[in-house]
Amino acid sequence: MVRGLGRAGIAAIHHTGRGGMFLASLVGGMGMMVRRPRLLVQQIHAVGVMTLPIILVAGLFVGMMLGLQGFNTLVGFGAESSLGLAVGLFLTRELGPVLTALLFAGRAGSALTAEIGLMRATQQLDAMEMMAVDPLPRVVVPRFLAGVIVMPLLAALFSVVGLFGGYLVGAVLLGVDGGTFWSSMHEGVDVVHDVLAGVFKSFVFGFVVTWVAVFEGYSATPTTDGVSRATTRAVVTGSLAVLGLDYVLTAIMFSEV
């Protein structure tokens, strides 16, 4: 039992170490993106545009939920005029970056892992190596960069749609004054500490989730079973990393204010 735990621990450390080395070689392969921007554009399409619908729908629903819950809670204190502030803070600080990252891990991250893992299992990566093409800069780097670029944009769109969802429920359905909704938001939401902190968070999340996804795919056991396990692991690791990092980043960025 103890030995089993020890072995699992060593395996986990080994896996993490390989992930770190992998990240280093990814950064080393970034030069190619300057010469081949098309590869990046294609991946932004695959990773970003294809994830957009789920992000927009989820953002709208979450915003509407915030409007409803916020109103019901605040009206008890007679503070429903602060609804805009509450919705704005929740979305820009927390829910925008975190939920976008979780949805991204489930939709785009798993797809990335499965895609790269299948390329490994069907020897496509080996074939590239034999054609004297390094698969790291050709296949992995554009996907990784696309994830890092796309995540803050998706999170911003999530927040914007969410704000309108909150406005829709709070102001249109429940009768909070629309002007008050927007002005209380503008009054209380700070660009640096709320909006940009959220953007920074989603940037970190994009980095970690995509890194985990492409690494798990690249190092997957080259069998169908291996790929499906790698996909599961990528989503689980990515999601847990997002939630853990969210706490750490929140503690660092919002504590001294």
Partner 1 sequence: MLVALNSVDFSYADTPVYESLDLKIPRGGITVIMGPSGCGKSTLLSLIGGRLQPRCGNVVVDDVEIQSLDKRGLYHLRRRMGMLFQFNALLSELSVFENVAFPIREHTDLSAELIEHLVKIKLEMVGLRGASQLMPSELSGGMARRVALARAIALDPVLVMYDEPFTGLDPISKGVIVQLIRELNDALGMSSIVVTQDVAEGLSIADYVFVFAAGEVIVEGTPEAVNATLRPDARQFLDGLPDGPVAYHYPASDYQVDLFQGES
Partner 2 sequence: MTLQAKETLVGVFILAGLAALVWLTLFVGNWAAITGGAGYRVTAKFENIGGLTVKSPVTLAGVTIGRVSSIASDREDYSAIVTLSIDQDYNNLPVDSTAAILTAGLLGAQYIGVVPGAEIDYLKEGDSIDITQSALVLEQLIGELLFSRAGAQ
Partner from partner 2, partner 1, none binding residue 199, C-beta < 5-8 Å depending on class: partner 2
Please tell me whether residue 234 adopts helix, strand or coil conformation.
Answer: helix
Rounded Cα distance, 177 and 171, in Å: 6
Question: 200 to 229, contacts with partner 2 by CB under 8 A?
Answer: none
Q: Show the binding pattern over residues 131-160: x = contacts partner 1 (CB under 8 A), - = does not.
A: xxxx---x----------------------
Q: Show the binding pattern over residues 66-105: x = contacts partner 2 (CB under 8 A), - = does not.
A: ----------------------x---x-------------
Rounded Cα distance, 43 and 57, in Å: 22
Tokens, residue 123: 């020897």
120: amino acid identity, one letter = R
Does 25 bind partner 1 (CB under 8 A)? Our answer is: no
Closest CA to 97 of 241, 206, 215: 206
Residue pair 71/80 in contact by the 8 Å Cβ criterion: yes
- H-assigned helices in 105-140: 110-121, 124-130, 135
Question: 158 to 187, contacts with partner 2 by CB under 8 A?
Answer: 159-160, 163, 182, 185-187
Shortest distance (Å) from residue 19 CB to partner 1:
21
Q: Rounded to whole angstroms, what are the CA distances from 181 to 51, 175, 187?
A: 30, 10, 10
Does 126 bind partner 1 (CB under 8 A)? Our answer is: yes
Does 253 bind partner 2 (CB under 8 A)? Our answer is: no
Q: Show the binding pattern over residues 86-125: x = contacts partner 1 (CB under 8 A), - = does not.
A: --------------------------------xx--xxx-
Partner from partner 1, partner 2, none binding residue 60, C-beta < 5-8 Å depending on class: none
Q: Which residues of 104-126 are buried (b: 16+ CB within 10 A; e: fewer)?
A: bbbbbbbbbbbbbbbbbbeeebe
Contacts with partner 1 by CB under 8 A lie at 118-119, 122-124, 126-134, 138
Contacts with partner 2 by CB under 8 A lie at 38, 41-42, 44-45, 48-49, 52, 88, 92, 150, 152-154, 156-157, 159-160, 163, 182, 185-187, 189-196, 199, 257
